[in-house]
Amino acid sequence: MSLQRFTIAVLLFLSPMSPSVSAQEAAAPKIEKRSFGAIHSGKETQLYTMKNNRGMEVSITTYGATIVSIKVPDRSAHVDDVALGYDNARGYEEGKQHIGGTIGRYANRIAHGRFVLDGHTYTLPKNNGDNTLHGGVLGFDKRMWSAQEIPSADGVAMEFRYVSVDGEEAFPGTLAAKVVFTLYKDKNELRIDYSAATDKPTVINMTNHSYFNLSGQGSGDILATVLQLNASRFTPVDEAQIPTGELRPVKGTPFDFTKPVAIGERIDTNELQLRYGRGYDHNWVLDATGNSTEPALAAKARDPKSGLVLEVLTTEPGVQLYTANFLDGSEHGKGGIAYQRRTAFCLETQHFPDSPNHPDFPSTTLLPRQAFHSTTIYRFSVMKGGVDRSGET
């Protein structure tokens, strides 16, 4: 028996366990590793699958520190893969929708690919019309990350590291980035901790770009998914999807998710903001912002068909709801499934888009000797008999 398995076995032996605990719950959390194929350069990638004792599995690849799959039991104890993705690393390399990736150095858009920091103007590659999107042409989700299993008293954890050199995608400073994914052993929660440090002033905004379908990836559209956002304001955008600077109240608009409502109920309303995004592709200003140890509840999504509930907690001030408006069937994912429009939704926890050009927005500047840290949690549960059991273990 390996030292790792022996240690886990001892911990489980010493932990109090009810005689009624099922064999599935008694199984030790573990991490499995396998090849995920080579990218075009010939570099080999790896896939790590974390498993807990509640039937949840999360697979992450070293290409882009990308979440490849999230498998979780639904109301009928059927295990669905609720995250879109590809069958190998080449799919992520060739994909254009940032599916599942760790996004950086700057998530979302920077207007005109330009910002000023300490009196110096930085001009970035433009990959979204006249704007820079998700870190540029080769953002963090298009880079190779190192990975290692790390100890965790809460379950199992994987640490991914990447060093973005000074001038990469024209961003200033060498940035050492770290992402830790922790799958809790006794509850179906995935915690993501982002950390970074720089050797000169720079900007940073990191997130994960998982596409969720709580009925299972490839199962159809997500318009019946019921969503609630703890946000009474959002940041309206111009035609290029750049924030105008206004923090607009959602009350009386199709952007009001302060009470649960189906995503599809108002998505096709003839409203200018929805026309700009071809649906929802906007940042909401969260009413409560967590701290480094206590992320606050930002969003809750419920699927009436599977009974799955997803809660998103974060320390970030904003969340981008994106309803996969630009999927068009050209992206073929796991099992060869053609991903169509609005067959998934994203909840990208973040600082606001284009913050470097909006002094009134929460700052995304990172200075030397400062530590960047952000936490997001994906918490899964089920509705039983029509009752929402979110938060239960």
Half-sphere exposure of residue 387: CA atoms within 13 angstroms, side-chain side = 5
More confident residue, 254 or 13: 254
DSSP letters, 126-176, are P-BTTBEETTSTT-GGGSB-EEEEE--SSEEEEEEEEEE-TTGGG--S-EE
Task: Please identify which residue in the block is written with the tokens 């290029």.
Answer: 240
Structure tokens at 129: 């019309």
Mean pLDDT of the chain, nearest integer: 92
Domain ranges of the chain: 3-388
Q: For 237-291, where are the alpha helices, taking DSSP H only? A: 272-277
- Residue 195, C-beta contacts closer than 8 angstroms, at least 6 positions apart: 177, 178, 179, 180, 371, 372, 373
Average pLDDT for residues 269-279, to the nearest whole number?
97
CB 107 within 8 A of CB 135: yes
% of the chain surpassing 70 pLDDT: 90
Contacts of 22 (CB under 8 A, 6+ apart): none
| Average confidence (pLDDT) over 30-46 | 98
158/180 Cα distance (integer angstroms): 6
Q: What is the arithmetic mean of pLDDT over 102-125?
A: 98
Q: Residue 255 phi/psi, 5° resolution?
A: -95, 10
Residue 10 pLDDT exceeds 60: no
Note the pLDDT of residue 390. Answer: 53
d(CA 253, CA 270): 11
- Binned at pLDDT 50, 70 and 90, residue 386 comes out as low
pLDDT at position 6: 28
Q: What local confidence, expressed as pLDDT, does residue 279 receive? A: 98
189: which DSSP letter? Answer: E
Q: Average pLDDT for residues 104-113, to the nearest whole number?
A: 98
372-384 and 189-198: which strand pairing?
A: antiparallel
Return the pLDDT at 393: 34
What residues are annotated to the active site? 209, 348
- Average pLDDT on 104-109 reads 98
- pLDDT at position 289: 74
Q: How far apart are CA 345 and CA 47, in angstroms?
A: 24
What CA–CA distance (Å, rounded) separates 7 from 76? Answer: 33
Residue with token string 């870190």: 135
The pair phi, psi for residue 84, each rounded to 5°, is -70, 155
Mean pLDDT of 117-123: 97
Give pLDDT tens digits for 43-88. Answer: 999 999 999 999 999 999 999 999 999 999 999 999 999 999 999 9
Q: What is the mean pLDDT of residues 195-223?
A: 98
Q: What is the pLDDT of residue 217?
A: 97
**Lowest-confidence segment of 4-18, 50-64, 143-157, 218-232 by average pLDDT:** 4-18
Which DSSP state fits 60?
Answer: E
Give the closest residue to 282 by CA, choosing from 252, 328, 238.
238
Which CATH number is correct for 3-388, 1.10.3720.10, 3.40.50.300, 1.10.287.180, 2.70.98.10?
Answer: 2.70.98.10
Q: What is the pLDDT of residue 27?
A: 67
In tens, the pLDDT along 319-359 reads: 999 999 999 999 999 999 999 999 999 999 999 999 999 99
Q: What is the pLDDT of residues 350-385, one digit of tens each?
A: 999 999 999 999 999 999 999 999 999 999 999 876
- Residue 355: per-residue pLDDT: 98
Coil, strand or helix: which one is 258? Answer: coil
- pLDDT over 80 (residue 24): no
pLDDT of residue 19: 35
List CB contacts of 211: < 8 A, sequence separation 6 or more.
83, 84, 97, 99, 100, 217, 324, 339, 344, 345, 346
Residue 45: what pLDDT?
98
pLDDT of residue 15: 36
